[in-house]
Structure 1
Amino acid sequence: MLAVRFAISDPNKDSLREIYLEEHKRHLRSKEVSIIQSGPILNEGGSGEGGVVIADVGSLEEMRRFSSADPFVVHGIYRDVAIYEWRPTIGGRG
């Protein structure tokens, strides 16, 4: 199943972002889940306001466990995190 995680950053935690950025990237590259795409959400000015991860997982619970261990989640850099099953209908996997 494909799962998507939408995460919105807490603007009050910008100073922590740089501290945990490399740890966050290591977590995403850990291969604990099979990430298909991942990257930042940018506002009109080009500043990061969050991130999206699309992964091939066995269950939404697997994605929730992976997400809860992300340093950006652990340290509150992401203010809101939502995880959904995703069923693409247009494109290569539809």
Structure 2
Amino acid sequence: MLYAMIAKDAPGALQTRLDTRPVHLEHLKSLGNKLVFAGALLNAEEQPEGSIVVFAAETLAEAEAMAAADPFVPAGVFASYEVKRWRIAINNTSVEF
């Protein structure tokens, strides 16, 4: 099953996000195949203002544990985050970014 973590950054957290990013990325890499995709939500100035991370997990509790283990959480980057069951409706991964 797939679960999405939708996170919004705390006001003024950009520097903390940048400082914590290397360990955040290592954490995501450590998830292996349980990480489906991840990326920052960007504001009008192309600066990060949140994140979306999609996990493959057996249960909501497992996905919530993966989200809570993200170094951005204890560092205070996120003002809030939630983990929701997610279903792919269209998979057009051939689109170039």
TM over 0.5: yes
Q: CA RMSD in A?
A: 1.6
Deviates more, 1:31-40 or 1:66-75: 31-40
Counterpart of 2:86 in structure 1 is 86
How many residues of Structure 1 are paired with residues of Structure 2 in the alignment?
92
Counterpart of 2:49 in structure 1 is 49
Output one character per residue of 1:37-69: Cα deviation in whole Å (capped at 9) or x when no partner: 111101122111111011211111111111111
Q: Tell me, yes or no, if the aligned pair for 2:14 and 2:48 is still in contact at 8 Å.
A: no
Amino acid aligned to 1:50: G
What secondary structure, in the 3-state scheme, does the structure 2 residue paired with 1:12 have?
coil
Runs of 4+ in 1 over 6 A off after TM superposition: none
Output one character per residue of 1:14-53: Cα deviation in whole Å (capped at 9) or x when no partner: 2222221101111111126611111110112211111101
So what's the TM-score if we normalise by structure 1? 0.87
Instruction: Show structure 2 runs of 5+ residues with no match.
Output: 93-97
Instruction: Show structure 1 runs of 5+ residues with no match.
Output: none
What is the percent sequence identity of the aligned residues?
28
- Pairing 1:59-78 to 2, within 5 Å after superposition: 59-78=59-78
So what's the TM-score if we normalise by structure 2? 0.85
Counterpart of 2:95 in structure 1 is none
Q: Say if 1:62 and 1:45 are closer, same or farther in 2 by CA, change over 3 A.
A: same
